[in-house]
Each structure stands twice: as C-alpha cells, then as structure tokens.
C-alpha cells in the first residue's frame, strides 16, 4: 500500500480566481486474501500495514486555501458528497470503501465559497487506484516511499584484521528534523528512515533512546524495528518542548551493536497558537498637569509564548480608545514596539480632567490585523496637580474684636478658595501679616482642616494705648506658583480689629521692691511705702491694700496709703530668712466691677548685727581613760556673720577648779581649738567641761558652752568597750536643785511623822492599836532602795523610829495584798524587833543626830545617791572621779550663788557655803 501523496500548487489570479489546486492521489487497495495472509505472517510489520489500510477510510487529502487579500469566511464543498466529506479546515475524508470504478467515474471537484460576497473558487483532485499483483508488493522495509533517509556512518573492513570493523574518517553531519507543532495530520506520522549499510546482508533491529522515546515524556516518538522508520505519535507543543535530542541504535538479532549510535535532533516548528498576554490587566500612570507634548507617561508590556524570533512572537502596540476625549481625542500616543506612552498634545488640566483611561491593544504577527492574534489592557493615567491656582480671599475685609490683655484668642477667621487638589502643598495656604502690626501682637496660623486663617492675639493688647488695629494679610501656598501664574488681587485682605476695655488689675511698681535694713528693728518702726498704680485711666477707682503673705508675722500695711511698719523685731537668724532675704507679699484691690487685684512682693535684705553668742561644736565627744593622743579639736559656731563672728577666743572656766587642773585648751585658728588632758589617766564617766568662747564683734559677745566628754575603757584598737551607763562625775545646777528639793521634802516628811507619832502615843494610852503593815515606816523607806544610796544606807537601824510593840506580825497581813509601789520580785527585808519603844523625845534626838551626821558625811545620802549607778564592783584600783564636779565635802562646792535665788535658798547657802561648823 502506498501512502497518500499530494502536490499542491498555489497561484493567485484576481479577481476571477484566487487559488487553484492540482492534486494526484495514488491509492493501493489490497483485495486478495492470500496477500493479507502473507502480511499477517509478518507480525513485526502488521501494525504499520494496518494503519495504512485504515487510513483509506479516514484522511485522503487536505485542501489549503490561500487568501489573496480577500476577507470574510470561506466554506468548502466537494462534488461527490456521498463518497467524500470535507471539513471546514479543508480535510477530505472517505466515507466508505472505494473501488477503482468509483474513483475513475467522476473527477473530484472542490469548491471554496466566500460567504460575504458569494465569490467562489474551485480546484480538481485526481484519484487513482492501484491494483498490483502479489508479486509486485514491495518488501516490508519499503513500506513508505519518499521518506528522508538517514544512514549510519559506513564502516570498512581492515585487510590486516579480518572480521573487525573500522570507522572511516569522514565528516558526518545529520541535519535536524523539523516538525510543525499542533499538527492535525494522521498519526503515527513518519518523519525519517534510519538505515544501515549492514542491513543488506543480515537482519538488523533499529531503536531510538532519549526524552520523548524511552525517557519522559515517553511515547512521543517510535521507530519501526525492521524498516527503521521514525514516526511521531501525537501533536507537539513548542511552548512545552521546543526540541528533542534522540539517539538511534542498530543491533543484530543477537543484540550486538552493529553501528555506533547517531544523534538525531528534532526541532518543533512554531505556529501562531498563542495570543499576547499583558503582564498587568490595569496599568497605572501619572503625569503633571500642564505637561508639554512629548512628555513620557509610562510603559505597558505584554508577552507572547510563541517564538519571538518569528512573526508569531513579534508584537505591536496601539491605542484603541481614550476616555474622555478632552481637550482632544489624541492626547497620548504609544510606541508600537516598546509600549511607551507619551503625550502628543497640550492642555492637560487636572481641574477639568483629573484622569484618562486608555485601551491598549497588543497584536502579534508584527501587528498584522488579518493573521495576528490580539489582546487588550487598560491604562489609567492620573493627572497630578501643580500649583497653577493661587488662593483667593472670599472677602476683601474681615472684622473682629478682642478684650484687652487677652492672649491666645482667635479674633477672626479668614476664608479662601483654591482650585488645586485639597490637602496638598499646592492647596495649603500660608497667611502673612504685611502691615498694621509693628509690635507683633498678632499671628495668623492656618487651620489644617478648613485651610482658614485664624487671626490670633499672641501679645497682650492695651486699650489705653490703642483701641483699634487694621491688619493687611496676604495668602500664599506652601509651594510657589507654577511658572507663568501670577497672584490675583484677591490674595490680599484687610482685617479690622476692635479692642474692648476691661477692668485691669493694679500694678505694683517696682515689683518686687527691695529694701535693706539692720536686723533687730523694734516694733512700730516705719519701713517703706509700697503702692500700686491702676492702669485704667478712663475709670475712676480707689485702691486698698492688704497683707497677703508674711511668714514671720513681722509687718503691717496701711490699707489706704500702703505704708509698711513692723509689728515684731526683725531677726536675720530667723528660719523664715533665706540668704539674708525676707519676702512678704501684699495685695492691691480696686473698686471696679468686678473688682480686680494685683500682688506685689517686698524683699527685705537684713544686715547682720552681733546678737548671737558663739557656742562649742560638737557638744559631745568620747575619749579613752588613757587617751592617745590626749587631745581633740573643737569648733566654735556663731549665728552671726563676719565680722560679728570669728575669729573666736577660747578659754576654760575658772569653776569648778578641777577643770583647769585636768584640762587645757589651745587655740589652733580663728574657729578651731584643741582641748587636751593634762593627766595621764581619767576614770570612766561623763564630764561636762565649761568653755568660754568670745566672738570678734564690735561689741564682743561671750558665752559659756559646756562640752560633754564621755570617758570609757577602750580596747587595743581605741574603741570603747564599756557599755554600761556612765553617771556624770560632777553636779550641775539642775542636780543641785533636785538634791535640795529632796532634802526639803524629806524634812517635811520627818516632821509629819513626828506629829503623827505623838498623836498615836496618846491614842495608845487609851487603846492598843494594831498598825497596818502598809504603814510600816521601814517598809516605806526600803521600797525605794532602787533609787537610794548604796550599801551604806542599810546600815542604819531604822527600827528605832517605831515602837516594837506596834509591829504587826506577818501573819496578820493578808496574803496576796501588796502596795502598788512594792517590788514583787524582792523578798521583804527582816529587821530585829526591840522589846520596848523609846520615848518620843528620844526619836527626835535621833533624827537630829542623824540629820547632822548626814550633813557632814559626804558618803551619806543624798550626795552618794548619784554614785549608785556608776558602781561596778569593788576592788578597782582607779581613783575617784568626783574631783571633777564634786568634792569630798560641801565646803569644796561654791554655793554662794544660792543667795541670788531668794530667801528660801539663803539658808542652804549659809549651810553649805560656810565653814564646817
């Protein structure tokens, strides 16, 4: 069987005939059963033969119509519709098995008719039937005629090596095979035949390998193993795979390689089967208004999957439409190759047309509208604003009013119009005052929302100076106007402002007022006059003054005249005085409606006088019993200033006399001195050392300042180890007064006791009375032993003060009943009971003798009562510390100053200040 073959010829003969075809069809129909039996025995060739036989019932030929500049749709018709059918794409099919008589009966005529103008063209196809004998059937390797053959490079036998093959050195270039994509032809479609020189004398088997054959994607190419015909099994897609690289092999029946593999390249030929595709469906661009022709706007881009090296992938752009078509329909043009859009006309005005919409078309086949495929996209071009419209005031004059002395208030609102885009620098307005405000009392900020000018007072306005203001205000944009645009008259306006008079507060002048005075001024002293002025010149008002702030309550102001006098002594050392300055505030109120008031501050600079005596610092210190070193430094402090303060003079007081014996003071500088211990050892205790300090004032002031020195036992590091309370070794003035009061109270108690004993003696004669244990004198005295003297006090036999027969046994005292002042943890002391009570007169003599002995004995109460608390056990080798502020007898003390305390203390002065008698 022979494959169908056609020989199309394309001619153009207008206007009568556009295309004429002449075709020859050779058909071979095998009718003999024996021939089919022979073919069936050849199993390797059976699928190939079967496909050729079946093709007779399907595809016969393809009619191609060539358009020679005509348009419209073309419809194909054939002259034998009962045997043949032609599709709209020109493919002719056989409808039934045909015989030779049928094919030769009537020639097949094909007509192409234009449906638009009913113009038609025709061509004739000649069909023949071949009826060869069985002997004329070619061998299976020659099943297809007319195929391109590709031979393996030939091999030549070497004379020196029998049976061995040797490749001849020659160039062997196999041209690539071109296959159109999207083919609608019959499949399998033969491409080329692979041949070897060795298939003449022995049977060979052919095969191909590579992508598309035995590698993914598989099943695209097959090769007949005997004939070597390479066929494609399905339509190809260049956009998916543009070429295939296969390798052909030839082996013998045993699988031995006969030829070296050869490479076969199959190129897929592109067809225009893809439309252009824009990268974006909507393109956005901007251009400033007023742009000149030729201004670049933007570039649109599309892609085509077809081969860009062919016309199938060569694109051309054009603008299909423009909306709106104002001021002209051709405001823009596009570069047909690059897609760049530029302006071609002037007149872009954002205030009239803010946006243009362009429909852009991209066509392949180099823009051929007949054969090319097209697609469209939208280009949106926004016209951006420039400052081509200046702001214009809505009125020539604006009015406002403001009360005097008011700041940060809006007086008037200035309104403007601007056609530019809102909220842009070309629309935002800036207001400037160009006249009428030489002192800068007004400003005109811009409201960012409404673009209005807010005339605002920034400095106080005085009605008494100016009652009206006329301002000249100019309005401009944040950015300059575009070139060639000038500001109109409406960009300047006048603002008339009226000032309203209000009641103003009185003003003190000067404020604050400073005066200098010496401290120590007595009350009712005149200081100064502090008055205020009323700024309201056009109002008749009176002013009254009051004291608003006077921390120390030193001053008084006259409510009508403002005269200031003192009501207390001015003291520079007062805590209310800071850096010698005292401040007081006064209030001035007028009689307006409503009243207004103002404040003024009076500052008094106090000059220092010598009214403060110096004192020692620190007032307390510590030292060891054996100090090393034996001195320490002290400082003098004075509340006054120089020259009423230092340099100071230091001196130890003459009394008590042991101060100068034990201590010495040395001046180191004007403010410092060193106090040193003369002796090498000082017993533990607290000592008060009187130091006389004198300042350097014009009238010097002296003061006796007491330095409290704590003497303690120290370790090897010099730190105190004595934690017990150390009792002062000397008696001060307070201690002496307390001792005297105790003595007087004791005497009164003794007298009362004597009187009471006499009355009890009279009652005892009548009836023996039981004495309550609570009245036990011994018990009363012993309950205070925690404040009493020491062991010496308990050596007295106090039972002599009470009759033995009046002592109540312990059994009489109720159990659990105790006085509130009794100490519950100590046992009750037991005293011996005398057999008989002495005469009351003996008790008085005893008291007198005991009192006298107590007065003359330094170890008797109350002098040794202060020594109880410094008692630390016996056996100490240290000497007594009483020599500092006390002596062994009353004569060592100077009690003459008690004469100055009144008649009640003169007796004590005579008793302790006189001789031992």
Contact 501, 444 (CB under 8 A): no
| Average pLDDT, integer, range 248-254 | 91
Phi, psi of 731 (to 5 degrees): -105, 130
Homologous superfamily of the 507-607 domain (CATH): Cadherins (2.60.40.60)
pLDDT value of position 807: 41
| Average pLDDT, integer, range 652-657 | 78
pLDDT value of position 400: 93
pLDDT value of position 163: 36
How wide is the angle at C-alpha 164 spanned by C-alphas 162 and 165, nearest 5°?
125
How wide is the angle at C-alpha 465 spanned by C-alphas 463 and 469, nearest 5°?
75
Tens-place pLDDT, residues 142-155: 456 667 888 887 65
Work out the pLDDT band at 106, boundaries 50, 70, 90: low
Angle, helix 46-55 to helix 33-41, in steps of 10 degrees: 140
Q: Which of 114-123, 234-243, 689-698, 798-807 holds the top average pLDDT?
A: 234-243
Find all residues with CB under 8 Å of 581, minimum gap 6, and list them: 603, 604, 605, 606
Separation between Cα atoms, residue 575 and residue 514, nearest integer Å:
20
- What six digits make up the tokens of 203? 């049977």
For residue 496, pLDDT over 80 is answered with: yes
pLDDT value of position 299: 96
Tell which wins on pLDDT, 851 or 821. Answer: 851
Contact 880, 683 (CB under 8 A): yes
pLDDT value of position 401: 92
Contact 559, 546 (CB under 8 A): yes
Q: Which helix (H) or strand (E) holds 456?
A: strand 453-457
For residue 892, pLDDT over 80 is answered with: no
Separation between Cα atoms, residue 462 and residue 444, nearest integer Å:
20
Work out the pLDDT band at 700, boundaries 50, 70, 90: confident
Work out the pLDDT band at 531, boundaries 50, 70, 90: confident
Separation between Cα atoms, residue 723 and residue 834, nearest integer Å:
45
Contact 502, 530 (CB under 8 A): no
Enter the DSSP assignment of 197: G
pLDDT value of position 104: 55
Find all residues with CB under 8 Å of 772, minimum gap 6, and list them: 808
pLDDT value of position 631: 76
- Average pLDDT across the chain, whole number: 75
- pTM of the prediction? 0.43
For residue 660, pLDDT over 50 is answered with: yes
Separation between Cα atoms, residue 361 and residue 320, nearest integer Å:
6
Q: What is the 3-state secondary structure (H, E, C) of 265-291?
A: EEEEECCCCCCCEECCCEEEEEEECCC
Phi, psi of 906 (to 5 degrees): -65, -35
Output 435-442 pairs: Cβ under 8 A, ≥24 positions apart: 435/471, 435/472, 436/469, 436/470, 436/471, 436/472, 436/495, 437/469, 437/471, 441/469, 442/411, 442/469, 442/471, 442/497
pLDDT value of position 717: 74
Tens-place pLDDT, residues 157-202: 443 333 333 444 444 578 899 999 998 888 899 999 998 888 888 8
pLDDT value of position 679: 77
For residue 813, pLDDT over 60 is answered with: no
pLDDT value of position 592: 79
For residue 836, pLDDT over 50 is answered with: no
End-to-end Cα, the chain, rounded Å: 181
pLDDT value of position 50: 38
Comparing 178-182, 618-622, 892-896, which segment has the lowest mean pLDDT?
Answer: 892-896
Q: What is the CATH number of domain 615-712?
A: 2.60.40.60
| Average pLDDT, integer, range 215-244 | 92
The whole-angstrom distance between residue 600's C-alpha and the CA centroid of its chain comes to 46
pLDDT value of position 282: 96
Please list, residue by residue across 66-76, b when 16 or more beta carbons sit within 10 angstroms of its beta carbon and e when fewer do.
Answer: eeeeeeeebeb
Homologous superfamily of the 177-269 domain (CATH): Cadherins (2.60.40.60)
Q: How many residues does the chain have?
A: 917
Separation between Cα atoms, residue 844 and residue 211, nearest integer Å:
151
pLDDT value of position 285: 95
User: Which residue from 566, 440, 474 is spatially nearest to 515, judged by alpha carbons?
Assistant: 566
Token pair 């401009």 is at which residue?
A: 476
Output 748-754 pairs: Cβ under 8 A, ≥24 positions apart: 750/847, 753/777, 753/801, 754/840, 754/843, 754/844, 754/847
pLDDT value of position 211: 94
Q: Which of 113-127, 179-193, 351-365, 567-581 holds the top average pLDDT?
A: 351-365
Find all residues with CB under 8 Å of 878, minimum gap 6, and list them: 625, 681, 683, 684
Q: Which helix (H) or strand (E) holds 658?
A: helix 657-662
119 burial type by CB count under 10 A (0-12 exposed, 13-18 middle, 19+ buried): middle
Separation between Cα atoms, residue 691 and residue 632, nearest integer Å:
14
Work out the pLDDT band at 842, boundaries 50, 70, 90: low
Separation between Cα atoms, residue 800 and residue 833, nearest integer Å:
9
For residue 728, pLDDT over 50 is answered with: no
| Average pLDDT, integer, range 399-411 | 91
Tens-place pLDDT, residues 40-98: 333 333 334 333 333 333 334 555 565 554 555 778 888 787 778 787 667 777 777 67
- What six digits make up the tokens of 376? 């469209």
Work out the pLDDT band at 866, boundaries 50, 70, 90: very low
| Average pLDDT, integer, range 685-706 | 79
Q: How many CB atoms lie within 10 A of CB 264?
A: 24
Domain ranges (residues) in the chain: 177-269, 392-500, 507-607, 615-712
Work out the pLDDT band at 20, boundaries 50, 70, 90: very low
pLDDT value of position 846: 75
Tens-place pLDDT, residues 324-369: 999 999 999 999 999 999 999 998 999 899 999 999 999 999 999 8
User: Mapping DSSP to helix (H, G, I), strand (E, B) and coil, where does residue 142 land?
Assistant: helix
Work out the pLDDT band at 749, boundaries 50, 70, 90: very high
Tell which wins on pLDDT, 113 or 285. Answer: 285
For residue 916, pLDDT over 70 is answered with: no
Comparing 306-320, 378-392, 567-581, 827-841, which segment has the lowest mean pLDDT?
Answer: 827-841
Work out the pLDDT band at 105, boundaries 50, 70, 90: low
Contact 675, 634 (CB under 8 A): yes
| Average pLDDT, integer, range 127-153 | 55
Tell which wins on pLDDT, 594 or 96. Answer: 594
Query: In the chain, what percentage of residues exceed pLDDT 90?
Result: 29
Same fold, 177-269 and 392-500: yes
Separation between Cα atoms, residue 871 and residue 886, nearest integer Å:
17
For residue 781, pLDDT over 80 is answered with: no
- What six digits make up the tokens of 609? 């006088």
Structurally, at CATH architecture level, domain 392-500 sits in Sandwich (2.60)
Tell which wins on pLDDT, 692 or 864. Answer: 692
For residue 24, pLDDT over 50 is answered with: no
Separation between Cα atoms, residue 58 and residue 81, nearest integer Å:
14
pLDDT value of position 372: 93
Work out the pLDDT band at 437, boundaries 50, 70, 90: very high
Angle, helix 733-766 to helix 840-856, in steps of 10 degrees: 170
Separation between Cα atoms, residue 726 and residue 711, nearest integer Å:
9
Tell which wins on pLDDT, 59 or 472. Answer: 472
User: Which residue from 431, 427, 463, 461 is spatially nearest to 446, judged by alpha carbons?
Assistant: 431
Work out the pLDDT band at 733, boundaries 50, 70, 90: low
């Amino acid at each position: 069987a022979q494959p169908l073959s056609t020989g199309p010829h394309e001619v153009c003969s207008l206007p009568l005939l556009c295309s004429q075809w002449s075709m020859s069809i050779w058909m071979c129909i095998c009718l003999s059963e024996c021939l089919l039996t022979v073919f069936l025995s050849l199993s390797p060739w059976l699928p190939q033969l079967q496909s050729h036989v079946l093709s007779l019932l399907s595809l016969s030929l393809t009619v191609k119509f060539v358009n020679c500049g005509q348009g419209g749709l073309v419809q194909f018709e054939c002259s034998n519709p009962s045997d043949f059918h032609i599709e709209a794409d020109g493919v002719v099919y056989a409808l039934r098995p045909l015989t030779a008589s049928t094919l030769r009966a009537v020639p097949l005529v094909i007509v192409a008719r234009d449906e638009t103008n009913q113009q038609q063209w025709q061509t004739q196809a000649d069909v023949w039937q071949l009826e060869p004998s069985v002997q004329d059937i070619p061998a299976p390797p020659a099943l297809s005629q007319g195929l391109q053959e590709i031979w393996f490079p030939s091999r030549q036998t070497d004379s020196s090596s029998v049976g061995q093959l040797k490749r001849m050195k020659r160039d062997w270039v196999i041209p690539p095979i071109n296959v159109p994509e999207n083919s609608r032809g019959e499949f399998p479609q033969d491409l080329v035949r692979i041949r070897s020189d060795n298939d003449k004398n022995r049977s060979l088997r052919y095969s191909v390998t590579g992508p598309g054959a035995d590698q993914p994607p598989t099943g695209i190419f097959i090769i007949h193993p005997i004939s070597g015909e390479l066929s494609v099994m399905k339509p190809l897609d260049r956009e998916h795979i543009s070429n295939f690289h296969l390798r052909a092999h030839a082996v013998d029946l045993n699988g031995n390689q006969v030829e070296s593999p050869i490479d076969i390249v199959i190129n897929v030929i592109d067809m225009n089967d893809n439309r252009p595709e824009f990268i974006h469906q909507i393109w956005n661009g901007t251009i400033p208004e007023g742009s000149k022709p030729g201004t670049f706007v933007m570039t649109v881009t599309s892609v085509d999957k077809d081969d860009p090296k062919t016309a199938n992938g060569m694109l051309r752009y054009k603008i299909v439409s423009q909306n709106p078509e104002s001021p002209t329909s051709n405001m823009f043009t596009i570069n047909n190759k690059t897609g760049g859009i530029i302006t071609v006309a002037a007149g872009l005005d954002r205030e009239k047309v803010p946006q243009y919409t362009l429909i852009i078309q991209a066509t392949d086949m180099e823009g051929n509208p007949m054969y090319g495929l097209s697609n469209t996209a939208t280009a949106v071009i926004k016209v951006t604003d420039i400052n081509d419209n200046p702001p214009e005031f809505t009125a020539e004059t604006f009015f406002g009013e403001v009360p005097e002395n008011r700041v940060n208030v809006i007086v008037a609102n200035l309104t403007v119009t601007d056609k530019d885009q809102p909220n842009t620098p070309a629309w935002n307005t800036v207001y400037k005052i160009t006249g009428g405000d030489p002192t800068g009392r007004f400003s005109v900020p811009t409201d960012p929302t409404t673009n209005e000018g807010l005339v605002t007072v920034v400095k106080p306005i005085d009605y008494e100076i100016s009652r009206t203001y006329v301002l000249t205000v100019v309005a401009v944009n944040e950015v300059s106007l575009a070139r060639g645009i000038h500001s109109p008259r409406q960009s300047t306006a006048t603002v008339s402002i009226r000032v309203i008079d209000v009641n103003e507060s009185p003003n003190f002048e000067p404020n604050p007022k400073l005066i200098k005075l010496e401290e120590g001024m007595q009350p009712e002293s005149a200081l100064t006059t502090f008055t205020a002025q009323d700024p309201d010149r056009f109002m008749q008002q009176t002013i009254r003054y009051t004291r608003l702030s006077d921390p120390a309550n030193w001053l008084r102001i006259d409510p009508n005249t403002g005269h200031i006098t003192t009501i207390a002594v001015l003291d520079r050392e007062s805590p209310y005085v800071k850096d010698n300055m005292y401040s007081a505030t006064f209030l001035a109120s007028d009689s307006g409606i409503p009243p207004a008031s103002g404040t003024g501050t009076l500052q008094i600079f106090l000059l220092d006088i010598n009214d403060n005596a110096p004192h020692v610092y620190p007032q307390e210190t510590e030292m060891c019993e054996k100090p090393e070193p034996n001195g320490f430094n002290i400082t003098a402090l004075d509340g006054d200033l120089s020259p009423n303060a230092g340099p100071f003079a230091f001196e130890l007081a003459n009394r008590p006399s042991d101060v100068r014996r034990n201590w010495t003071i040395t001046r180191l500088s004007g403010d410092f001195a060193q106090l040193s211990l003369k002796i090498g050892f000082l017993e533990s205790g607290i000592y008060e050392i009187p130091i006389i300090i004198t300042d350097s004032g014009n009238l010097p002031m002296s003061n006796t300042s007491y330095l409290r020195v704590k003497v303690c036992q120290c370790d090897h590091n010099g730190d105190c180890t004595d934690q017990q309370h150390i009792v002062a070794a000397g008696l001060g003035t307070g201690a002496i007064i307390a001792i005297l009061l105790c003595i007087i109270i004791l005497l009164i108690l003794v007298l009362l006791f004597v009187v009471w004993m006499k009355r009890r003696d009279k009652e005892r004669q009548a009836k023996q009375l039981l004495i309550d244990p609570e009245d036990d004198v011994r018990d009363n005295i012993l309950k205070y032993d925690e404040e009493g003297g020491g062991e010496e006090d308990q050596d007295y036999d106090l039972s002599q003060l009470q009759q033995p027969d009046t002592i109540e046994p312990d059994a009489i005292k109720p159990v659990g009943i105790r006085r509130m002042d009794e100490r519950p943890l100590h046992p009750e002391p037991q005293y011996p009971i005398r057999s008989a009570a002495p005469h009351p007169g003996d008790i008085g003599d005893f008291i007198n003798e005991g009192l006298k002995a107590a007065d003359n004995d330094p170890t008797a109460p109350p002098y040794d009562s202060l020594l109880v608390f410094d008692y630390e056990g016996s056996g100490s080798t240290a000497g007594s510390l009483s020599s500092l502020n006390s002596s062994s007898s009353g004569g060592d003390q100077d009690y003459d100053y008690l004469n100055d305390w009144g008649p009640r203390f003169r007796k004590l002065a005579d008793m302790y200040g006189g001789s031992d008698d």
